[in-house]
């Protein structure tokens, strides 16, 4: 086992050293003007905000014998915040990995399989209406080891992720924040036009257990999305609840825009 681990780690080091010379650089600037108000307050605040603007680089390397090394480093940049005390960069999904006929393995910082179970039903992702502002379960964790299976059985795939969970500050408990205390998994069925996914996450970094159902179903000219998440506290604060998001999106007549 130790020999296998040494070979795997060495392979990942070679990936980063050989691929760093030719990465694909990318980025996105997403700026919006928000007009916010609160219940019982007459005044509204107009603010210019950066919605998860980001910069990163990624690439892959052919390692022969059907294996491909992959890597990605991505950081969020808040270009509207002039607070010199705040962090200029915040890490997003960043990892090295190995891809082959067996599937894909990733090591680093990454969204959990439960978070990804939202599919594309979160129509306002990164904006004010992002489901992260309405429910928990939108977790990205460090010290992450993830596995995505190849598609089998006519559209079925499995994803599993392990990382650091919630540290409740109490010694010798299940919530000690060590690697392996957070576990997330999903089962997805995708046949192009219809998508279903079931996911679960235990001991999340915020101290909750989650279960999630996600689906995307076409209905005539529109696509209907559903995200249903159950949340149960694991740190005794009794914040247990369910949250459901339903979305509808369709293309306009000329096909050059969307209504959602």
Average pLDDT over residues 42-56: 82
pLDDT for 37 equals 65
Share of the chain above pLDDT 90, in %: 45
pLDDT for the residue numbered 207: 78
Please state the rounded mean pLDDT for residues 146-174.
81
- pLDDT tens per residue across span 229-259: 999 987 766 678 899 999 999 887 776 778 8
End-to-end CA distance of the chain: 51
CA distance 211 to 20: 38
Cα 7 to Cα 5: distance, rounded to the nearest angstrom: 5
Q: Note the pLDDT of residue 7.
A: 47
Question: pLDDT, tens digit, for every residue of 188-216?
Answer: 999 878 999 999 999 777 778 999 999 99
More confident residue, 104 or 46: 104
CATH class of 2-259: mainly beta
Quote the pLDDT of residue 84: 60
222-232 pLDDT, tens per residue?
A: 999 999 999 99
């Amino acid at each position: 086992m130790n020999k296998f681990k040494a070979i795997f780690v060495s392979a990942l080091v070679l990936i980063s050293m050989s691929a760093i010379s030719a990465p694909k650089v990318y980025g996105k600037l997403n700026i919006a003007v928000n007009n916010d108000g609160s219940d019982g307050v007459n005044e509204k605040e107009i603010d210019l905000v950066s919605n998860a603007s980001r910069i990163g680089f990624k690439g892959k390397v052919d390692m022969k014998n059907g294996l491909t090394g992959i890597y990605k480093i991505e950081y969020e940049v808040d270009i509207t915040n002039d607070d010199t005390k705040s962090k200029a960069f915040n890490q997003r999904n960043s990892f090295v990995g190995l891809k082959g006929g067996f599937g894909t393995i990733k090591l680093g910082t990454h969204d959990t399989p439960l978070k990804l179970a939202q599919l594309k039903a979160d129509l306002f992702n990164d904006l004010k209406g992002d489901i992260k502002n309405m429910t928990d379960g939108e977790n990205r964790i460090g010290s992450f080891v993830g596995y995505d299976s190849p598609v089998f059985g006519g559209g079925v795939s499995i994803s599993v992720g392990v990382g650091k969970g919630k540290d409740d500050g109490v010694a010798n408990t299940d919530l000690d924040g060590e690697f392996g205390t957070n576990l997330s998994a999903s089962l997805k069925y995708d046949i192009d036009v219809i998508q279903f996914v079931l996911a679960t996450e235990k001991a999340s970094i915020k101290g909750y257990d989650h279960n999630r159902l996600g689906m995307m179903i076409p209905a005539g000219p529109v696509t209907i999305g559903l995200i249903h998440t159950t949340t149960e506290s694991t740190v005794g604060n009794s914040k247990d609840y369910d949250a459901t998001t339903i979305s509808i999106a369709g293309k306009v007549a000329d096909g050059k825009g969307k209504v959602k």
